[in-house]
Amino acid sequence: MLALTRKKDESIIIGDQIEITILDIQGDKVKLGIQAPKNIAIYRKEIFLEIKEENKAAVQSSINQIKELGKIFKK
Amino acid sequence: MTIQTKHFGELNIDEGKIITFPEGIPGFPDYKKYIFIFDEEDENSPFCWLQSIDDGSIAFALINPLKICPDYSPKVDNELIESLGEFNENELIVYAIVVVPEDITQMTANLKAPIIINSQTKIGMQVIAQNEEYEVKHKIFNDLQEYTSAKEGV
């Protein structure tokens, strides 16, 4: 992993379209400003990982069980 | 074309109905083509399936989120779903992925990250809604019971 040291209000550029700026540093919290093309999704990593795990759990669901549930819960 | 699936046997696919997920689905980035499967025996079932065409063993159970959360309205930046192609809002199809553990009363739907599909372009993606109140594991067993009994009462 590339490690760069930056100060408040300094930036890094990734490619020529993504810029990440250190907006603020307080204790162990860093506030980042991110400029990127609008179609690039930017998420906090833990929520993205949570969704990935949830999707993996989803395909383990028992389809037959859901079919049965569908019968119970038909409107 | 026909595909072999784990849960639904051999399926005849109408190629015009294939939904493309250009970025895949988180956890499954390489599977980009899917097809909807509805329960033919029971068209009132609140569930349907999103079956991968690339891998017959991969299928997601989906639920119409309005059936468990009547005022469901995920907030998503328009720019984020630009890749779906041009759409009117009423052409978007929104589903939540369902997880059913062994104890079915613990089943959950992912309201935080709905599947959104443009019915016109047949392009879909899973997005993360900005709404703080929506959970990745939203328990739905009781909601479904309420929904069902409300319907019966009409």
More confident residue, A45 or B149: A45
Helix, strand, or coil (residue A67) = helix
The chain B residue lying nearest A71, using CA atoms, is B45
Tokens of A66: 């859901």
Count of pairs with CB atoms under 8 A, one residue in A, one in B: 108
Q: What is the pLDDT of residue A72?
A: 67
Per residue in B9-56, pLDDT (tens digit) is: 899 999 999 999 999 999 999 999 999 998 776 667 788 999 999 999
Of B83, B97, B148, the CB nearest to A58: B97
Q: What is the pLDDT of residue B152?
A: 67
Task: Please name which of B56, B53, B49 lies closest in space to residue B20, comparing C-alpha atoms.
Answer: B53
Per residue in B106-141, pLDDT (tens digit) is: 999 999 999 999 999 999 999 999 999 999 999 998
Is it the case that residue B8 has pLDDT exceeding 90? no
If you average pLDDT over residues A3-11, what whole number do you get? 97
ipTM of the complex: 0.89
Place of tokens 């709404």: B131
Tokens of B26: 């988180």
**Which helix H or strand E contains A45, and what residues bound it?**
helix A45-58
Distance from CA of A5 to the nearest CA of B (A): 31
Q: What is the pLDDT of residue A46?
A: 94
More confident residue, B114 or B81: B114
CB contact under 8 A, A66 and B47: yes
Q: What is the pLDDT of residue B10?
A: 92
Q: What is the pLDDT of residue B153?
A: 59
Per residue in A13-69, pLDDT (tens digit) is: 999 999 999 999 999 999 999 999 877 888 889 999 999 999 999 999 877 777 777
